[in-house]
Amino acid sequence: MWFHANYGIQILQDKSLICVSNDTLSMHDLLQAMGREVVRQESPAEPGRRSRLWGSKDVFHVLGKNTGTEEIESIALDWANPEDVEGTMQKTKRSAWNTGVFSKMSRLRLLRIRNACFDSGPEYLSNELRFLEWRNYPSKSLPSSFQPENLVEVHLCYSNLRQLRLGNKILDSLKVIDLSYSEYLTKTPDFTGIPNLERLILKGCRRLSEVHSSIGPHNKLIYVNLIDCESLTSLPSRISGLNLLEELHLSGCSKLKEFPEIEGNKKCLRKLCLDQTSIEELPLSIRYLVGLISLSLKDCKKLSRLPSSINGLKSLKTLHLSGCSEFENLPENLGQLECLNELDVSGTAIREPPVYIFSLKNLKKLSFHGCAESSRSTTNIWQRLMFPLMPRKRATSTSLVLPSLSGLSSLTKLDLRNCNLGEGAVPNDIAYLSSLTHLDLSCNKFVSLPTNIDQLSGLQCLCMEDCKMLQSLPQLPSNLELFSVNGCTSLEKMQFSSNPCKFNYLSFCFINCWRLSESDCWNNMFHTLLRKFFQGPLNLSDSFSVVIPGSEIPTWFSHQSEGSSVSVQTPPHSLENDEWLGYVVCASLEYDGCASSEICANIPYWVFGVPMHCFFNGYRCRDMMSVSPSSIDMKCNRDNILSDHLWYLFFPSRFKIFDRHISLRFATCRPQIKVIKCGVRLVYHQDVEGLNRMTNLYENSAFEGVDECFQESGGSTMRGGSALVKRLGHTDDVGEASGSVSSDEQPPPKS
């Protein structure tokens, strides 16, 4: 007698024997151990007479010696390490296993085999099977005698199946078919005989060329995944059913050229992914997807427009068109999609986005990344072959034209990277984006920013990498957590807010900003950053990171050493001393890589594009610090690293400390970065007071006596020969260390 699963599970929950959360069933380890011992006691000497088998030794004993009986109801072989499986199976002569071993297990209801390879498949499977999972199933088909009338789920990923044949009977119980990455699968079964199928997963079946037409009128499917079915050329011409379908994934079906016509409103479909397909246009019947929330058409290179009926998608929240290089215009009625909160048109041919986009009050994420690449030449290949001397039209560089941004009251992320924005192209009303938290203006051509950008009080992340013409920055928002101007080689001036602010995590990146490091304002800038960071209460998660050009560690760092490690002795009773704030660490980094490198602004973990870690008493600081969730990685390509750099870090006093002897070590998994020197200093409140006095003198433009002021706190400045940041050396030395340096980016020689 079988009990209904829902009824039995509810009883076990009521008795607190199991817990069900987020569709996951769990139990206490002691209960699991007790249950396994009860099963073992069913037949202590012979595993083949137990109702359930899960231990690898017991399973291989039964399969290898053919000792199975009708008592077995469940077999679960799941090894995490395939190498161990291979060794054990060799001991049991896996190639000689009895393929008819399952014929004795007529009551087998669950069979799960993972990470175990067999040379041949079974000759028999129990007709009582409810759940069948066999990763790397070795045969071309299931046993001909198998009648899967009771089968609920079948998972045969990475199998050798050519076609899934399930017999001629109606399989009312079957709800899940997962044949992902079955390389030789060419056809799907007839779905007419599987009326209650809910999930169809054929991801990565690269030879699958045909989906049975019976999928069109199917009414129970909820989830369909055909990602990376590269040979799939078409779908059924019409979708009349699929009324319960919630997700349809067709990304990577590179030969798919048409999307089926849709009949009747489909209220349940929430997500439609058509990335990297060959679809040229969507049907007008797309308007019937009234419940669609997410539509993704990334890298559809042949897609040139959206149908005018797109305004029927009243529930649409996310629209991705990135990489659709032929896409030039958005339909005017797209502005009627009031629920839209994410629009990505990066890498498209759009140059003048319609004004209505900038009045979408619910829009939260907007990306025009790369919408300024050279226009396509009108001279095609045939013209060049027939008329080789005919003058070609040069590709012209265009800029993205931005209207007023003030209507985007809900916008949180704006990506304008590589949009060829010149001076004045960033609208002044960008300051009205009160909800903006992330702004990317990298790889543009403006010289300065609007002076009111400091009014973006909620801005946490600002990326302006490789803005080669940028010369000055106005006062920045006070709540920045991550700021990167890597590669801004013309930058000379910056201003900082005088208002105190609190940082959970702060990372400032000035890689290759050598003009800024040589300017007078650099004296004020670095110490202002330190001072502002120390203002307000510091928590365990507080950290501070700055990367700037330079090679000499300031004498302010009391403990210095050559190489990649440094130690310091924490004074007695330091943990109880409220005056002690923490540690400031500095490392002198020499870059010796190739001409091209990817740089990430999340500097505590990446420097010059390679992983860089700081170990605190043997513990990696990445594992010990809590990074603000708003921090994001901002990457760009760097042609040349122009000089050495200094990496400053701060760890608060409540950082994990295990003894008084503190050892700091820098390490990288690649040879591009070498740590030449490093230093550490214990920071107290009196050091901050010294910084306050010094920066006040800078702010009042009274530079005389600054050296004496900083010496009181044990440091040095850049003026009077005791430089906070010194250059690598002469121009020739830089060229030898970092590859060729262009004349417009070449740093000046050391004076």
Structure-block tokens of residue 747: 């740093």
**How far is it, in rounded angstroms, from Cα 674 to Cα 608?**
11
* Domain final position from 350, 381, 403: 350
Question: What DSSP string runs through 577-603?
Answer: -TTEEEEEEEEEEEE---S-EEEES-T
Between residues 638 and 358, which one has the greater pLDDT?
Answer: 358
Q: Give tens-digit pLDDT for 387-420.
A: 555 554 444 457 888 999 988 999 999 999 999 9
Residue ending a domain, among 316, 350, 384, is: 350
In this predicted structure, the answer to whether residue 323 has a pLDDT above a threshold of 90 is: yes
pLDDT top residue among 382 and 290:
290
Residues 480 and 343 in one domain: no
Range of the domain at 313: 235-240+248-350
**Cβ-based neighbour number of residue 291 at 10 Å:** 17
Q: What's the CA gap between 524 and 496, in Å, rounded?
A: 9
Residue 564 lies in a domain: yes
**Other Cβ atoms within 10 Å of 116 Cβ, number:** 21
Lowest model confidence (mean pLDDT) among 304-313, 422-431, 669-678: 669-678
What's the whole-number mean pLDDT along residues 423-446? 93
For the chain, give the percent of residues with pLDDT over 90.
44
CATH label of the domain that carries residue 315: 3.80.10.10
Q: How confident is the model at residue 88 (pLDDT cuts 50, 70, 90)?
A: low
**What is the DSSP annotation of 611-663?**
EEEEEETTEEHHHHSPPPTT----EEEES---S-EEEEEEEETTS---SSEEE
For residue 606, the model assigns a pLDDT of: 40
d(CA 480, CA 494): 14
Averaged pLDDT, 146-171:
92
pLDDT digits (tens, 9 = 90+) for 247-273: 999 999 999 999 999 999 999 999 999
- Least confident range from 6-10, 494-498, 555-559: namely 494-498
SS3 category, 321: coil
321 within some domain: yes
Q: Is the pLDDT of residue 593 over 80?
A: no
Q: In terms of domains, do 586 and 711 share one? A: yes
CA-nearest of 600, 587, 580, 614 to 684 is 580
Grouping H, G, I as helix, E, B as strand and the rest as coil, residue 471 is: coil
Name beta bridge partners: 610: 607
The Cα–Cα gap between 635 and 652 comes to: 28
The tokens of 548 are what? 């700037």
pLDDT of residue 523: 53
Domains held by the chain: number: 3
Please give the residue that has the higher pLDDT: either 159 or 526: 159
Q: Which pLDDT score is estimated for 417?
A: 95
HSE-up of 414 (CA within 13 Å, CB side)? 28
In a domain, 667, yes or no: yes
Q: Which of 99-103, 221-225, 231-235 is predicted with the least confidence, judged by mean pLDDT?
A: 99-103
Q: Is the pLDDT of residue 668 over 70?
A: no
Extract the tokens encoding 334. 């797209």
pLDDT of 28 over the 60 cut: yes
Condensed to tens digits (0 to 9), the pLDDT of residues 669-722 reads 566 678 889 888 888 877 777 666 655 554 544 333 333 333 333 433 332 233
Give a three-class secondary structure readout of 678-704. Answer: EEEEEEEHHHHHHHHHHHHHHHCCCCC
- Under a CB-based contact definition with an 8 Å cutoff, are residues 556 and 681 in contact? yes
Taking residues 295-301, report their average pLDDT. 96
N residues, the chain: 751
One-letter amino acid identity for 255? K
Q: Among 350, 368, 399, where does a domain finish?
A: 350
Q: Does residue 707 lie in a domain region?
A: yes
Q: Is the sign of the CA dihedral 24, 25, 30, 32 positive or negative?
A: negative
Cβ 673 vs Cβ 607: under 8 Å: yes
Which residue type sits at 133?
E
Residue 373 placed within a domain: no
Residues 578 and 718 in one domain: yes
State the first-to-last Cα distance of the chain, in angstroms, to the nearest integer: 92
Q: Is the pLDDT confidence value at 724 over 50?
A: no
What Rg value do the Cα atoms of the chain yield, rounded? 33
For residues 597-612, give the mean pLDDT. Answer: 39
Say if residue 3's pLDDT is above 80. Answer: no
Token output for 482: 């991550």
Look at residue 388 and tell me if it is in a domain: no
pLDDT band at 600 (very low <50, low <70, confident <90, very high): very low
Helix (H, G, I), strand (E, B) or coil at 558: coil
Q: 395 or 563: whose pLDDT is higher?
A: 563
The pLDDT-based confidence of 435 (bands split at 50, 70, 90) is very high
Range ranked top by mean pLDDT from 113-127, 249-263, 350-364, 582-596? 249-263
Least confident interval from 34-48, 81-95, 495-509: 81-95
Looking at the structure, tell me whether residues 342 and 476 fall in a common domain: no
For residue 577, pLDDT over 80 is answered with no
Please check whether residues 477 and 329 belong to one and the same domain.
no
Cβ atoms within 10 Å of 746's Cβ, excluding its own: 16
